């Protein structure tokens, strides 16, 4: 069934709003470049920082107003520290928590249209207030007629049409900018969004992602994934088991439940090591709203994953590339590390690994501390997350593959969660068994 139509006037307004916003940012960039090259004021770095922060706020306001793809795209850009200055990343990252819900009558109409039945025929009860709202959908608690509690994820009715319209507008705008600025190519970002959005808009795909991750963790008591109710799931409505738990960053809640935040943090990192280095398929959106914690009968924590719209399968040779990179890192060989980065999917203008040498040497510098028990604390995470993207932007890299972009985002999100938990993870000791192909037993 096609999405809800939007009027020509709405499309024109959105196109104009997008064009004006990004046009102002682009002209500001040109003006600041002129100042830097011709007048060379001594406070130019501070001028750039002020401009970037103001521009980011302008884009943020536009995203909040327009929502749809623009909001989702700006959330995505908020994770791209390899492409954008950190001022944009810091401001746009806040968009995760600023999505107003749709009125209940809109939700009710969508569910009834998708399931072909009145709400009361499918559900014994259905909460009118959402438990969560995001850029593409919102989630309501409900109860089936057999008494089972479920979570119902409902896609906004106009979102598919908005995504198509906005994507065309953004593609046209960025293509025009690319013609004027050969070194300012944002088309790869548009291509990534165009590839990613159809999957996120198809809740059947999300259900399959949930089951795929659930199967891979089926033998572990300390990781859980909600069960999907396929009989009530369509492309725009997803019904799954309702799972109670403590939000992973609720430090007081974890302690009140008798759970050790450090153990929760260790479990989270181990679960991602297993997904990335053993399964080759991972949940790519581990922000705190998608991670719950339960107390097991043993008193140990159980990690619950939610929201599987963004999941990624890694290339077949990824693990081998990771092993080669880790081996070169342990040997202290930056040239071999650069070769492994190419194997992992980094692309350079001339196809030679030498262009990745500086990044490899920087990682080696950090890696030297592995032997002294480097830990995933706030200082390490912030330095790694700040300096690696800076060096990538300064080097002649054409493109970082999507799976590595998503992995970088996951590392950033995990670092933030661990910082909230006050944890210090021994990264070398945690990662090494998975790189070597040895799984931890529960």
Q: Is there a domain that residue 55 lies in? A: yes
- Whether 239 has a pLDDT exceeding 90, the answer reads yes
Query: Is there a single domain that holds both residue 190 and residue 87?
Result: yes
> Is residue 101 within 8 Å of 130, Cβ to Cβ?
yes
Query: Is there a single domain that holds both residue 404 and residue 286?
Result: yes
pLDDT of residue 97: 56
Query: 282 has which bridge partners?
Result: 312
Q: Can you give the residue range of the structural domain that contains 67?
A: 8-99+159-200
Query: Is there a single domain that holds both residue 440 and residue 330?
Result: yes
pLDDT digits (tens, 9 = 90+) for 293-332: 999 999 999 999 999 988 989 888 887 888 788 778 778 8
- Whether 238 has a pLDDT exceeding 70, the answer reads yes
Return the structure tokens found at 258. Answer: 């008798």
82: three-class secondary structure by DSSP: coil
Q: How far apart are CA 406 and CA 165, in angstroms?
A: 25
pLDDT of residue 79: 60
Query: Is there a single domain that holds both residue 196 and residue 312?
Result: no
Query: Is there a single domain that holds both residue 188 and residue 249?
Result: no
Query: Is there a single domain that holds both residue 253 and residue 320?
Result: yes
Average pLDDT over residues 360-372: 65
Q: Is there a domain that residue 146 lies in? A: no
> Is residue 18 within 8 Å of 66, Cβ to Cβ?
yes
Query: Is there a single domain that holds both residue 276 and residue 383?
Result: yes
Q: First vs last Cα of the chain: how many Å apart? A: 45
- Whether 214 has a pLDDT exceeding 90, the answer reads yes
Q: Is there a domain that residue 165 lies in? A: yes
Q: Is there a domain that residue 356 lies in? A: yes
- Whether 166 has a pLDDT exceeding 50, the answer reads yes
Q: How far apart are CA 116 and CA 122, in angstroms?
A: 10
Q: How many domains does the structure of the chain reveal?
A: 2
Return the structure tokens found at 396. Answer: 């002649």
Q: Looking at 181-314, list the stretches that DSSP marks H as alpha helix, in order from N- to C-terminal side.
A: 187-200, 203-216, 251-256, 261-274
pLDDT digits (tens, 9 = 90+) for 2-12: 456 677 888 88
Average pLDDT over residues 133-155: 94
Return the structure tokens found at 77. Answer: 């850009």
Q: Is 268 exposed, middle or buried (0-12, 13-18, 19+ CB in 10 A)?
A: buried
In this structure, of 75-89, 95-109, 363-377, the range with the lowest mean pLDDT score is 363-377
**Interacting residues of 173 by C-beta distance below 8 A, sequence separation 6+:** 18, 19, 22
292: three-class secondary structure by DSSP: strand
Query: Is there a single domain that holds both residue 434 and residue 319?
Result: yes
Closest to 180 (Cα-Cα) out of 392, 33, 70, 30: 30
Q: What is the pLDDT confidence band of residue 186, given thresholds at 50, 70 and 90?
A: low
- Whether 374 has a pLDDT exceeding 50, the answer reads no
**Domain endpoint, select from 200, 230, 254:** 200
**Domain endpoint, select from 200, 231, 257:** 200
The pTM assigned to this predicted structure is 0.76
Q: Is 121 exposed, middle or buried (0-12, 13-18, 19+ CB in 10 A)?
A: exposed
**Interacting residues of 242 by C-beta distance below 8 A, sequence separation 6+:** 141, 142, 148, 149, 150, 151, 226
**Domain endpoint, select from 200, 228, 259:** 200
pLDDT digits (tens, 9 = 90+) for 414-432: 777 877 787 777 666 777 7
320 vs 369, higher pLDDT = 320
Beta strand 246-247 with 237-241 is unpaired
Query: Is there a single domain that holds both residue 179 and residue 269?
Result: no
pLDDT of residue 212: 97
Q: How far apart are CA 148 and CA 309, in angstroms?
A: 23
Query: Is there a single domain that holds both residue 260 and residue 188?
Result: no
Query: Is there a single domain that holds both residue 189 and residue 316?
Result: no
Q: Is there a domain that residue 194 lies in? A: yes
User: Dihedral through CA 270, CA 387, CA 332, CA 278, nearest 10?
Assistant: 20
Q: What is the pLDDT confidence band of residue 98, given thresholds at 50, 70 and 90?
A: low
In this structure, of 97-111, 182-196, 302-316, the range with the lowest mean pLDDT score is 182-196
Q: What residue has token string 């369509």?
A: 234
**Which listed residue (250, 285, 307, 324) is catalytic?**
285
Has 146 been annotated as catalytic?
no
Locate the DSSP E strands across 339-420. 347-348, 375-376, 397-399
Q: Is there a domain that residue 403 lies in? A: yes
Q: Is there a domain that residue 104 lies in? A: no
Q: Is there a domain that residue 372 lies in? A: yes
Query: Is there a single domain that holds both residue 313 and residue 175?
Result: no
> Is residue 303 within 8 Å of 271, Cβ to Cβ?
yes
């Amino acid at each position: 069934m096609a999405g809800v139509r939007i009027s020509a006037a709405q499309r024109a307004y959105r196109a104009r709003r997008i064009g004006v916003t990004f046009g102002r940012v682009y002209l500001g960039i040109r003006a600041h470049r002129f100042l830097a090259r011709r007048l060379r004021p001594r406070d130019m770095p501070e001028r750039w920082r002020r401009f970037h922060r103001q521009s980011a706020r302008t884009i943020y306001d536009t995203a909040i107003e327009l929502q749809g793809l623009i909001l989702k795209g700006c959330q995505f850009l908020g994770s791209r520290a390899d492409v954008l200055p950190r001022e944009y990343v810091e401001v746009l990252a806040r968009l995760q928590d600023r999505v107003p819900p749709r009125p209940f009558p809109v939700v009710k109409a969508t569910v009834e249209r998708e399931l072909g039945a009145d709400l009361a025929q499918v559900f014994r009860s259905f909460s009118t207030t959402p438990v969560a709202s995001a850029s593409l959908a919102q989630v309501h608690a409900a109860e089936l007629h057999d008494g089972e509690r479920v979570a119902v994820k409902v896609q906004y009715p106009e979102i598919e049409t908005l995504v198509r319209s906005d994507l065309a507008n953004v593609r046209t705008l960025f293509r025009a900018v690319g013609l004027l600025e050969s070194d300012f190519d944002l088309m790869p970002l548009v291509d990534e969004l165009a590839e990613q959005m159809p999957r996120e808009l198809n809740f059947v795909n999300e259900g399959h992602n949930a089951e795929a991750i659930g199967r891979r963790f089926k033998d572990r008591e300390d990781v859980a994934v909600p069960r999907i109710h396929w009989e009530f799931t369509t492309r725009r409505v997803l019904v799954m088991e309702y799972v109670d738990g403590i939000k992973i960053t609720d430090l007081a809640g974890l302690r009140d439940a008798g759970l050790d935040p450090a153990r929760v943090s260790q479990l989270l990192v181990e679960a991602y090591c297993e997904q990335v280095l053993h399964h080759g398929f991972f949940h790519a959106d581990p922000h705190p709203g998608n991670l719950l914690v339960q107390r097991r009968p043993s008193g140990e924590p159980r990690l619950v994953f939610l929201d599987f719209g963004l999941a990624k399968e890694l290339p077949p040779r990824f693990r081998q590339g990771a092993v080669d990179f880790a081996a070169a890192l342990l040997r202290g060989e930056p040239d071999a590390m650069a070769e492994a980065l190419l194997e992992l999917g980094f692309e350079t203008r001339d196809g030679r690994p030498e262009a990745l040498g500086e990044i490899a040497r920087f990682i080696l510098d950090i890696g030297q501390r592995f032997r002294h028990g480097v830990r995933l604390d706030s200082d390490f995470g912030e330095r790694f997350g700040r300096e690696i993207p800076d060096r990538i932007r300064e080097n002649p890299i054409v493109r970082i593959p999507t799976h590595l972009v998503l992995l970088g985002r996951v590392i950033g999100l995990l670092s933030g969660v661990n910082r909230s938990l006050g944890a210090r993870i021994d990264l070398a000791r945690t990662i090494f068994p998975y790189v070597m192909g040895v799984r931890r037993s529960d």
